[in-house]
């Protein structure tokens, strides 16, 4: 292990494990803290071969476990959360996302780590009236409990930075896609078409339009904003410059799977064609602030989706 290490909560998950790969590639020592509810230790196989990764099986709801894992780490990448935006029991988001973040912040307040990079979400904006939506947009009115829980976490982090001299970077991610992801519309479409290659059920009316970003672009964005930020609390949108609708995503998945004559069945969805109650129908982020620190996405939404389909098919 390196003399100084960073803690990555949720480091065995989709974005977290790719982040770990990027950190060890830079020679960084990493402590991965994960309960493996949605993550997999096999996602860390490559990173572990460097000798720079220490995996700790632990639960965010137990502060003592976080304290022990944090040890002498000087910063925390807090990427652990329940990744399912559409979830029946709101208590899961409260416990995992809000209470879990509170416990991480308490461990930081009492320990040595004084910097946090937090994985938030574009869903904190809710149904924004201005698209593309900048970090200055208000009021923030999430339509899902997931989005509300992430916004609550942002507020907690802001308060801890102000009250206890911590430093934080908030990353409001668009839809990040790539290998190791086990949820989201791209993964769901591939799964459904593997089960029935003749018919595809599509939630909503198909006009839901959002930004998608390839995972390597997202990891690069994290590195750029860390280098380009000197203030104690900063918020960045991380996404692509464009957006793509669900209907086009279904076409790309069908093309990449080499299928033909697929019947697409749209459910219609609630509240004007949304995929589900709480779904944000239109989302595109203003990423000019990220660009101001030197980062530019290499992939647009369509190429990100196409690459994601190929990655899923290769797994």
Query: In this predicted structure, what is the pLDDT of residue 82?
Result: 86
59 lies in some domain: yes
- Statement to judge: residues 146 and 169 lie in one domain: yes
pTM of this prediction?
0.96
CA distances from 232 to 158, 163, 190 (A): 9, 11, 42
- Statement to judge: residues 29 and 168 lie in one domain: yes
**Residue 227's domain is classified under what CATH number?**
3.40.50.720
Query: In this predicted structure, what is the pLDDT of residue 248?
Result: 98
232 lies in some domain: yes
258 lies in some domain: yes
Mean pLDDT by 10-residue block, N- to C-terminus, for the chain (315 residues)? 78 98 96 95 96 96 95 95 79 94 97 96 98 98 95 98 97 97 94 98 97 98 94 97 98 98 94 91 98 97 98 94
- Statement to judge: residues 148 and 272 lie in one domain: no
- Statement to judge: residues 184 and 264 lie in one domain: yes
- Statement to judge: residues 92 and 16 lie in one domain: yes
- Statement to judge: residues 106 and 217 lie in one domain: yes
Summarised one tens digit per residue, pLDDT across range 53-67 is: 999 999 999 999 999
44 lies in some domain: yes
Query: SS3 sequence, the chain?
Result: CCCCEEEEECCCCHHHHHHHHHHHHCCCEEEEEECCCCCCHHHHHHHHCCCCEEEEECCCCCHHHHHHHHCCCCEEEECCCCCCCCCCCHHHHHHHHHHHHHHHHHHHHHCCCCEEEEEEEHHHHECCCCCCECCCCCCCECCCHHHHHHHHHHHHHHHHHHHHCCEEEEEEECEEECCCCCCCHHHHHHHHHHHCCCEEEECCCCCCEECEEEHHHHHHHHHHHHHHCCCCEEEEEECCCCCEEHHHHHHHHHHHCCCCCCEEEECCCCCCCCCCCCCCCEECECCHHHHCCCCCCCCCHHHHHHHHHHHHHHC
291 lies in some domain: no
49 lies in some domain: yes
- Statement to judge: residues 13 and 146 lie in one domain: yes
Number of domains in the chain: 2
- Statement to judge: residues 115 and 188 lie in one domain: no
- Statement to judge: residues 137 and 271 lie in one domain: no
136 lies in some domain: yes
- Statement to judge: residues 33 and 95 lie in one domain: yes
- Statement to judge: residues 204 and 305 lie in one domain: yes
Summarised one tens digit per residue, pLDDT across range 83-138 is: 777 767 889 999 999 999 999 999 999 999 999 999 999 999 999 999 999 999 99
293 lies in some domain: no
Query: In this predicted structure, what is the pLDDT of residue 3?
Result: 52
Buried b (16+ CB within 10 A) or exposed e, 193-204: beeeeeebebbb
**Residue 307's domain is classified under what CATH number?**
3.90.25.10
Domain span holding position 14: 5-175+213-238
The label of the residue with tokens 């990555």 reads 8
- Statement to judge: residues 159 and 15 lie in one domain: yes
């Amino acid at each position: 292990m390196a003399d100084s290490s960073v803690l990555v909560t949720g480091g065995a998950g989709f974005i977290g494990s790719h982040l770990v790969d990027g950190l060890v590639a830079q020679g960084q020592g990493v402590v991965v803290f994960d309960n493996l509810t949605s993550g997999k230790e096999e996602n860390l196989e490559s990173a572990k071969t460097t000798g720079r990764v220490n995996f700790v099986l632990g639960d965010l709801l137990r502060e003592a476990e976080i304290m022990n894992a944090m040890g002498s780490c000087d910063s925390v990448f807090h990427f652990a959360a329940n990744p399912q935006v559409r979830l029946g029991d709101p208590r899961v988001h409260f416990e995992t996302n809000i209470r879990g973040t509170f416990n991480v912040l308490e461990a930081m307040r009492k320990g040595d780590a004084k910097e946090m990079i937090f994985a938030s979400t574009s869903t904190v904006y809710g149904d924004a009236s201005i698209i593309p939506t900048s970090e200055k947009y208000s009021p923030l009115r999430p339509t899902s409990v997931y989005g509300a829980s992430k916004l609550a976490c942002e507020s907690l982090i802001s308060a801890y930075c102000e009250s206890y001299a911590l430093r934080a970077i908030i990353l409001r991610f668009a839809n990040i896609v790539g290998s190791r992801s086990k949820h989201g519309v791209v993964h769901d479409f591939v799964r459904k078409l593997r089960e029935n290659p003749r018919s595809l059920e599509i939630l909503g009316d198909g006009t839901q339009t959002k930004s998608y970003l390839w995972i390597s672009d997202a990891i690069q964005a994290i590195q750029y904003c860390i280098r380009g930020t000197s203030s104690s609390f900063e918020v960045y949108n991380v996404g692509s410059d464009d957006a793509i609708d669900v209907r086009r995503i279904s076409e790309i998945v069908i093309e990449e799977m080499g299928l033909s004559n697929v019947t697409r069945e749209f459910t219609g969805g609630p509240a004007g064609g949304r995929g589900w109650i709480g779904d944000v129908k239109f989302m595109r982020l203003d990423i000019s602030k990220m660009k101001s620190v030197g980062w530019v996405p290499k992939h647009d939404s369509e190429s990100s989706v196409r690459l994601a389909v190929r990655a899923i098919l290769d797994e």
